[in-house]
Amino acid sequence: MVSAGTLYVVATPLGNLGDLSDRARATLRRVAAVAAEDTRRARTLLQHADAHPKLLSLHAHSPEARYRQVLAMLASGDEVAVITDAGTPTVSDPGAELVRRARDEGAGVVVIPGPSAVAAALSVSGLGADRYTFLGFVPRKGPERRDLLASVARSPHTCVLFEAPTRLVTLLDDLAAGCGSDRPGAVARELTKIHEEVRAGNLAELAGYYREHPPRGEVTVVVAGAPREPSAAVDEYLVRDRARALLDDGVTRRDAATRLAAEFAIAKRDAYRIVTSL
């Protein structure tokens, strides 16, 4: 009896093909088949990796027959990789169903980690990422959208969302209305690509900017957690010490004020006053 094969969950570049890891490249070259969300994009990646596996389409609306085909390959001992358009599979992308069913059938499941739009956006947002909530794509309308936006407004942790560029301004306006216009945020667009852009500021500022400069490409939005209710008056000397450290590190006054407001749960105008007094 042939032992069950292995399903590899392979993270692929967000845009810059140079981010493909050596391990991911070797895996794509070795497997018998690759199940891809978009076979057109996958062909470009596989050509870059000099990999020539059988290419199968596997997306959110794939028929049951495609799942059975992949599972049959695994059952016969083949190795199969699953990839998405960009980044890590199953994170707001198809693949979780295949992973679950492959494991239930006794196949091995191995991750080949790598690029993630969530981690990339958090890392350049300037907002706290020790705890965060990923909420995926924002519903377009109805109670699901209202509930999600309300959860962002009250979350004590940084929130990360995906949105289509044509709906970004509407999302930022809605977030500003629910969270307060002064809530810090960041928009990461076209990460690792030629036209990469990361802008930080409060939600009202970001909405205003993108109203004047309509965005294109993949968009990730990061929103600071709700300010903590201070249990006692904030020690301004501590805020000043933190402000000096940020300025010494080359952070701009504006960005330093944004960080201080988030870290110490103080009004941004007070944070900016402290920064400009140094």
Map out the domains of the chain as residue ranges. Answer: 6-115, 118-223, 236-276
Write down the pTM of the prediction: 0.78
Same fold yes or no, 6-115 and 118-223: no
Question: Tens-of-pLDDT digits for all 278 residues of the chain?
Answer: 346 899 999 999 999 999 999 999 999 999 999 999 999 999 999 999 999 999 999 998 999 999 999 999 999 999 999 999 999 999 877 789 999 999 999 999 999 999 999 999 999 999 989 899 999 999 999 999 999 999 999 999 999 999 999 999 999 999 999 999 999 999 999 999 999 999 999 999 999 999 999 999 999 999 999 987 654 456 788 888 888 989 988 989 888 888 888 888 888 888 888 888 88
Helix (H, G, I), strand (E, B) or coil at 92: coil
Rounded Cα distance between 234 and 266, Å, is 8
Q: Where are the beta strands (DSSP E) in 171-258?
A: 184-189, 197-202, 219-223
Rounded Cα distance between 52 and 49, Å, is 9
Rounded Cα distance between 114 and 169, Å, is 30
- CATH architecture designation of domain 118-223: 2-Layer Sandwich (3.30)
Those residues whose C-beta lies under 8 Å from the C-beta of residue 208, and which sit 6 or more positions away, are none
Fold classification of 6-115 is Cobalt-precorrin-4 Transmethylase; domain 1 (3.40.1010)
Rounded Cα distance between 11 and 213, Å, is 31
Rounded Cα distance between 123 and 239, Å, is 23
